Amino acid sequence: ISGDTVGIATGGSGSVSSPNVAAGSQTLSLGTLALSNNSGGNYTLVGGSGTAIITPATLVLTGSQIYNAGTAFAGSNLVANGVNGETFAVTGSGSSGNLVSPNVQTGSVLSTTMGLSLGSSNNGGIAGNYNALGPVCSVVSVTPAPLGITVTGTYTGLNTITPSAFTKNGLQGGDSIDSISSATVYNPNVSANSYNYVTGITIGSGTASMSNYALSVAYNATTGDTQNKATINPAPLAISVNATYNGTNSFTKDNAIIDVAGMVNKETLVVTGVNTYSSNVGDNGTNYVTSITSIAGSSTASLSNYAINSGYRAVSGTLVAGATANTSPNAVTLSAAALVLDIGASKTYDGTTNFYVTPGSLASNFDYGFIGTVGSDAPYITGGSAQVSSANRGTYSKFFNNTLTLSDPNYTLTGGAVIALITQAPLTIVGAKTSLVYTGSQQTNSSATVYGVVGGQSITVDPAAYAKATNVAQGIQNDAAYTLIYSGGASANNYKVTSTDKGSLTITAAPLNVVGANNK
């Protein structure tokens, strides 16, 4: 009236007989509808009727699929969401245009719904009440694909290793992993191999991106896309041992110098005991450590994380570990044990400084004893000689040189006490027993011979001691006391007359010829 304008206020509702689009135009009952712009209360809504049409609602697609290296989004991974909790299945394998990118993503909108169709509802939804499927307001995600992995690497002291070998299972499409530059593992130690696994990898080369894959964060040795196994090999350790022969294959820090090299991550390893392949000095050049038996408590390294060469390898220059255990030095060098040689020697003067051992019969002109033998070892001198400072009679307290050889190369001669006595050589003098015919003049015994003189020297009897006689009546005349004459290097100090057989001179009657007179 008079230009007043009133309307239907918000907040009220009318109703129709069917909720579905298919019902078309329907009578609308007023229900709780009220007037607006009626502040004066000049109007009231009574009686009357209206019509209403229900139009299709829009379905919202939501879903998630595992990364498969493609941009199609399968209907089986989607749900079409309607009003009042109504939902529909989606069918079809989708098309390459569904996603802009194949990579893992969250809260993305589909680019198209090509290849997708609306399926049935199991909670009362009617397809006719909704518009055709479309990407508007869709919300989809792509989650990482499971990747099975095994890695093998060398102990580094850290949870990060550089794999020397690896396997992979579960790569999608044309994705590839050609190399792994690094891997992180649950436990860095060799001892954890029965339960150790990979927590992450860095791809060195290949087309795959780890952002599209997920590792199962638990140990699993079964081949497949959930496999996860890490194997840590011991780090190579170089070792050298220098020791003195002790008759055993065992050495400790107290009787050997034990050096190691190759510890990683600033770890320390103080080896206090080893076993060796051989106990003998003669095996130097082939001898090696077979096992490390103990380490000091101050060591920060675990012995199980390191491995030594299983055979001999020489140390060249500074001790450095190789790339592997079998290219790392492992050498044992044993020095001969010192034998203190005590000698009690005695020989008759022979003009030389030598005291000797004859190898064949082991005859010698000295007795000896050793101090320093190990266990049941019984080394002996096999030959050679030892020299005192002079060849002359006397007592000597040391040898100034020797060429003595031992039966056992595990020992070397050193020091000891020496009492070496050179005694006088015995001489025997035999005088001639001479018988001479009377000549009317005084005659002298012919000679006396000295026996026992060292070759090259000369000892003779002074002729003044020889017996003299003229007449038969003098009978047997014996030589006087002999006096010796030394020459040619001979010295009275080195000889002693032990036997004398004096010579003698006898004058026999001269034959007398009697010639009778011839008287005529």
Using one digit for the tens of pLDDT, what is the confidence trace for 455-487? 999 999 999 999 999 999 999 999 999 999 999
pLDDT at residue 23 in the model? 76
The percent of residues above 70 in pLDDT, for the chain, comes to 95
pLDDT value, residue 359 = 64
Nearest to 343, CA basis, from 387, 389, 293, 409? 387
- Within 8 A by CB and 6+ apart from 229, the residues are 149, 150, 151, 196, 197, 198, 219, 220, 221
More confident residue, 44 or 351: 351
**Do residues 273 and 293 make contact, with C-beta atoms less than 8 angstroms apart?**
yes
Output the pLDDT for position 328.
Answer: 98
Tokens 């008287």, located at residue: 519
Mean pLDDT to the nearest integer, 119-135? 95
Q: Would you place residue 499 in the very low, low, confident or very high pLDDT band (cuts 50, 70, 90)?
A: very high
Query: pLDDT class for 517, splitting at 50, 70, 90?
Result: confident
| pLDDT the model gives residue 39 | 61
- pLDDT, position 382: 87
Q: Given pLDDT bands bounded at 50, 70 and 90, which one contains residue 29?
A: confident
Map residue 22 onto helix, strand or coil: helix
In which element (H, E) is residue 394 found?
A: strand 394-396
Dihedral angle sign, alpha carbons of residues 448, 450, 455, 456: negative
pLDDT (average), residues 126-150: 96
* pLDDT at residue 40 is higher than 70: no
- E-assigned strand segments in 74-187: 78-81, 87-91, 105-108, 117-118, 139-143, 145-154, 160-161, 163-169, 179-185
- In this prediction, residue 121 carries a pLDDT of 97
Amino acid identity, position 230: A
pLDDT value at position 392? 97
User: Measured between alpha carbons, how far is 47 from 9 in angstroms, rounded to an integer?
Assistant: 17
DSSP string, 443-507: EE---EEEE-PPTT-EEEE-GGGS-EE--GGG-EEE-----EEEETT--GGGEEEEEEE--EEEE
**Residue 513 confidence (pLDDT):** 87
Residue 196 makes CB contacts below 8 A (sequence gap 6+) with 185, 186, 187, 219, 229, 230, 231, 232
Q: Is it the case that residue 339 has pLDDT exceeding 90?
A: yes
Query: Does 519 score more than 80 pLDDT?
Result: no
Q: For the chain, what is the mean pLDDT? A: 93
Indicate the pLDDT class of residue 142, thresholds 50, 70 and 90: very high
pLDDT band at 363 (very low <50, low <70, confident <90, very high): low
Instruction: Report pLDDT digits (tens) over 84-117.
Output: 999 999 999 999 999 999 999 999 999 999 999 9
Q: Which one, of 51, 63, 61, 62, lies nearest residue 23 by Cα?
A: 51
**Which range is most confident: 367-371, 422-426, 510-514?**
422-426
pLDDT at residue 7, rounded to an integer: 64
* pLDDT band for position 45 (cuts 50, 70, 90): low
Residue 116 has phi, psi (to 5 degrees) of: -120, 145
For 39-43, 312-316, 329-333, 509-513, which range has the lowest pLDDT when averaged over its residues? 39-43
Render pLDDT for 237-271 as a digit per residue (tens, 0 to 9): 999 999 999 999 999 999 999 999 999 999 999 99
Q: Residue 321 — very low, low, confident or very high, per pLDDT cuts 50/70/90?
A: very high
Query: Contact 113/61 with Cβ under 8 angstroms?
Result: yes
Q: 197-206 pLDDT, tens per residue? A: 999 999 999 9
DSSP conformation class of 176: -
Give the pLDDT confidence score for residue 14 in this predicted structure. 77
- For residue 520, name the pLDDT band (cuts at 50, 70, 90): low
| Model pTM score | 0.74
HSE-CB at 273 with a 13 A cutoff on CA atoms is 8
pLDDT value of residue 267 = 97
64: left (phi over 0), alpha (psi -120 to 50) or beta: beta
Checking if the pLDDT of 344 tops 80, the result is: yes
User: Where does the pLDDT of residue 20 fall: very low under 50, low under 70, confident under 90, or very high at 90 and above?
Assistant: confident
Tens digit of each residue's pLDDT (9 = 90 or more) over 187-227: 999 999 999 999 999 999 999 999 999 999 999 999 999 99
Q: State the Cα–Cα distance between residues 267 and 302, nearest whole angstrom.
A: 9
pLDDT given at position 361 = 59
